[in-house]
A and B are shown apart, each in its own frame.
Chain A
């Protein structure tokens, strides 16, 4: 079955600290992988995506993610977190259709 697991429901980091959000997927074919961010009361904004090629993907706002096929993972990283990064982060997988399967999300809190 196709699924996405985000094992961390809630993470708190200090401003300026590094961040890594975990994402594991189960997908039968070669996946397309995405990270979206959602601020309260807002829609989803795409941070980055992986379709093929270089397994280290750069996104907006200083985020990057690494696709590791052997581990079925697509973890999101940022070297230095800013207070404005506080939001909910969703990992998603897609394939040969436009249907995206989302993880349950990780809520990020940033301490001053």
Chain B
């Protein structure tokens, strides 16, 4: 079975721009979660999507948004980029609920200049 894939792997943007990151979960997985990883704040939960609906949300500003499609693929969008948004963005997929293991993708490295 193919693992979680994320595209692109690397991105460079400038302040004020917006960016869209994509995540394809493991086949059959319906839950997709997003995490931000930075040296200062560590790994922080952004949000989770299940059956095209946001099921859980972390403490991030509204500039961070996401969606999920009927095939469970997910995208996250960051608008009006700030320097502090530079991070590794990780996507994780699982079958359904909290009892299921979350499998992580390789991440998208976003650099904001």
Contact = CB atoms under 8 A, between A and B. Distances in A.
A43 B107 contact: yes
Interface residues of B, number: 26
A44 B89 CA distance: 12
A99 B99 contact: no
A99 B104 contact: no
A96 B55 CA distance: 12
Nearest to A103: B42
B97 A98 contact: yes
Interface stretch (A13-21, A45-53, A66-74, A79-87): A45-53
Contacts of B94: 98
Secondary structure of the A contact surface, majority rule = loop
A99 B42 contact: no
Interface string A26-53: 0000001000100001111110010100
Interface residues of A, number: 24
Interface in B1-44: 4, 31, 33, 35, 42-44
Contacts of A104: 42
Interface of A: 32, 36, 41-46, 49, 51, 90, 92, 94-105
Given A36-B104, A100-B102, 5 more contacts: A43-B90, A46-B103, A97-B55, A100-B92, A102-B42
